[in-house]
Structures are given as structure tokens and as C-alpha cells.
Amino acid sequence: MLIEDGVLVDYMWDRNRSAKSDHPQSGNGRRQSYKHLPMVRMTNTYMLAGQEDPENIISSTPKGVYVAKLSGGQVNTATGDFVFGTSEAYLIENGKITTPLRDTNLIGNGPEILSLIDAVGNDFSMTPGTCGKDGQSVSVGCGQATLRVSQMTIGGTADA
């Protein structure tokens, strides 16, 4: 458990870092293959489901962006700053999903964004993914329900 009831309660640990800090291991020392050095990285990361009906989350959003699929990104692990691309996203206008968006990026800071989540749906699901770090790619599981972040920087391109 990394975050519980909105509070950061622990970090990911591997054998080396836990021994140096006299902290229990968390099983997060992973590597792409025997040819690579292990490093601390995610395994299965998810946010538990909430109580909200996903349709109500969308219908109560006057203006926003609905992200259906992410296409990768990067995180500065020292600061929590991130950029994630979308492969499927749409505008939300007056509580309805409308215009498809192309080439959009979600930009922010992880701890800050977590504090801006104001609704979590009851439709939790897991999907396979990949954690890329220092030139390695390792399979991971990730999951969450529909959720709403009250504000976030969205970037992209606009055709005139």
C-alpha cells in the first residue's frame, strides 16, 4: 500500500534500498531480464473503486476532457512531474462526451493531481501495461475506475 485514505504511507522498496534504510522489502526490485540490473519499479499499481456511477461523473462535468486510453509517458521520480500522451480522448461539454481530441498530453505533478481527484467511479478494471525505465521494459498491471480530476494542464496541437 502506497497511499491510504489520501495519505502517502510508504514507498516502493527493493532489497538493496530496504537494507540500507532498515525497512522491509516490498518486492519492487524488478528487471527486464537476467542481463539487466534490478531497480525499484512498479508491479501492479491501481486505485480502488469509489461509489460514484461513471455516467453521473460525466453528466456532472460541465467542461473537461474524457481520456479513454493513454499512450505512454514519463515521470520525474524525484519531483513527481509527469507527461502522459493520450491515444483516445474526447471533449466533455455540458455533461456529454462530444468531439474527439488528437495528440493531447496530460501534464502535472502526481501528488498534486491525486489531491485534485473529486470523484471516483464504481467501475474498477485492470489492464496490462509496460513500465519503461532506464532502457528497460517490464510488464505491469494497472487499474482504476473512472475518476475526475478537478483541474489539470492539457497540452497538444491545434490545426488552424
Percentage helix, strand, coil for the chain under 3-state DSSP, each rounded to 5: 10, 50, 40
The pLDDT, as a whole number, for residue 160 is: 46
Q: Show the domain range for 7.
A: 1-41
Q: Are 113 and 149 in contact (CB under 8 A)?
A: yes
What's the 3-state SS for 74-132?
Answer: EECCCCCEEEEEEEEEEEEECCEEEEEECCCEEEEEHHHHHHCEEEEECCCEEEEEEEE
Instruction: Judge if 48 and 117 occupy the same domain.
Output: yes
Instruction: Judge if 29 and 59 occupy the same domain.
Output: no
The pLDDT, as a whole number, for residue 106 is: 96
Instruction: Judge if 61 and 99 occupy the same domain.
Output: yes
Average pLDDT in the 51-56 region? 97
Q: Is 121 exposed, middle or buried (0-12, 13-18, 19+ CB in 10 A)?
A: buried
pLDDT in tens, 18-46: 888 898 888 888 899 999 988 888 888 88
What span, in angstroms and rounded, lies between the C-alpha atoms of 151 and 81? Answer: 15
Closest CA to 28 of 46, 8, 18, 13: 13
- Mean pLDDT of all residues in the chain? 90
**74: pLDDT strictly greater than 90:** no
Say what percent of the chain tops pLDDT 90: 49
pLDDT in tens, 91-125: 999 999 999 998 899 999 998 999 999 999 999 99
Instruction: Judge if 90 and 112 occupy the same domain.
Output: yes
pLDDT in tens, 124-134: 999 888 888 88
The pLDDT, as a whole number, for residue 61 is: 98
Instruction: Judge if 58 and 75 occupy the same domain.
Output: yes
Instruction: Judge if 66 and 95 occupy the same domain.
Output: yes
pTM assigned to the model: 0.81
Q: How far is CA 113 from CA 37, 75, 95, 120, in A?
A: 31, 13, 22, 13
Instruction: Judge if 21 and 65 occupy the same domain.
Output: no
Instruction: Judge if 57 and 133 occupy the same domain.
Output: yes
The pLDDT, as a whole number, for residue 157 is: 62
The pLDDT, as a whole number, for residue 159 is: 57
Domain count, the chain: 2
Is 160 within a domain? no
pLDDT band of 158, cuts 50, 70, 90 = low
Instruction: Judge if 55 and 21 occupy the same domain.
Output: no
Instruction: Judge if 34 and 92 occupy the same domain.
Output: no
Instruction: Judge if 77 and 91 occupy the same domain.
Output: yes
How many C-beta neighbours within 10 Å does residue 18 have? Answer: 18
**139: pLDDT strictly greater than 80:** yes
